[in-house]
Amino acid sequence: VERTLRHGFPDLIVEPIGLPADLGRALERGGFDLVITDYHLHWTSGLSVLLAVKERDPDIPVVMFTGTGSEEIAVEVMRAGLDDYILKSPEHEVRLTASVKASLARAAGRRRLREAEGRAESLFEESHAPMLVIDPQTGIVVAANPAACRFYGWPREKMAGMGAWELSADSREEVLGRLRAALDEGERYFQAPHRLANGQVCEVEIYTGTMQVRGRSLLYGIIHDITDRKLAEEALRRERDFNRALVHSSPAFFVAVGLDGKT
């Protein structure tokens, strides 16, 4: 294995493990990038090695290079999280380097994904804007950030599991229709009346987008309270209507006079 891998990894550092104590020390110390194991070992099994490594760090790839080949064994270890399963034979040996490279690339991708999810979770938790994650098929709130809980006045454990229509002054059918439209269009912006825990109704604008979580298509919504803006717009509209009505109903007439005295 080492001789084969050095062709693709000239700076390869290999630490042979042959005793349970060696494995325990290596796992405790960490710092390794990949594990290659057989299925049958004199002192343990490849499945036990796989489970011990994945318990330590699920992102560390484990490749099984073994002469014990059967479909049942392959299914067992792949279900346990094995990254690849290669039979010991001359024609399969050439796959080893490619398998290791692919396994390392997948592990790096998993780490990047986890880091991105961590940044997204941090943004969700720390955002000053109320944010909700909703299942568009059922209309159930999957998650609400602290800002949303403060805005709506519901505790977090209550909001997760509420129907989105419970936060709206519109009907359930209208709310579910908006959610399905947002899912179909990918991104959507709309305004709607929302109801707070104290019964107050406020106007909000909602920016939605889609996200994939464990194979499910979910919607996230960023909510802005525009009640004051809507009230100001309504007051301005009423003032304009009043002035327009005053001009049309007044018996007086107006003449524009230029500075030279001409009409």
Length of the chain: 263
pLDDT value at 228 more than 60: yes
Residues 130, 140 contacting (CB under 8 angstroms): no
Q: Where are the beta strands (DSSP E) in 114-241?
A: 131-135, 140-144, 187-195, 201-213, 216-225
CA neighbor of 51 nearest in space, from 80, 85, 18 = 80
pLDDT value at 181 more than 70: yes
89-108 per-position pLDDT tens digit: 877 777 889 999 999 998 88
At 259, the pLDDT band (50, 70, 90 cuts) reads low
107-141 per-position pLDDT tens digit: 888 888 788 778 878 888 999 999 999 998 899 99
28-41 per-position pLDDT tens digit: 999 999 999 999 89
What is the pLDDT, as a whole number, of residue 173? Answer: 92
pLDDT value at 256 more than 60: no
What is the pLDDT, as a whole number, of residue 257? Answer: 59
38-55 per-position pLDDT tens digit: 998 989 999 999 999 999
Mean pLDDT of the chain: 87
- Cα separation, 128 vs 16, in Å, equals 52
Question: Over pLDDT 90: what percentage of the chain?
Answer: 47
Half-sphere exposure of 86 (CA within 13 A, CB side): 23
What is the pLDDT, as a whole number, of residue 180? Answer: 87
At 142, the pLDDT band (50, 70, 90 cuts) reads very high
Q: Rounded to a whole number, what is the distance in angstroms from the first to the last CA of the chain?
A: 102
Residues 207, 167 contacting (CB under 8 angstroms): no
Average pLDDT over residues 64-81: 84
Helix, strand, coil fractions of the chain, as percent rounded to 5: 45, 20, 30
CA neighbor of 160 nearest in space, from 146, 179, 145, 141 = 141
Q: Residue 214: which region, alpha, beta or left (left: phi > 0; alpha: psi -120 to 50)? A: left
What is the pLDDT, as a whole number, of residue 70? Answer: 76
At 64, the pLDDT band (50, 70, 90 cuts) reads very high
pLDDT value at 252 more than 80: no
- Cα separation, 137 vs 163, in Å, equals 11
Question: Which tokens belong to 122?
Answer: 């941090």
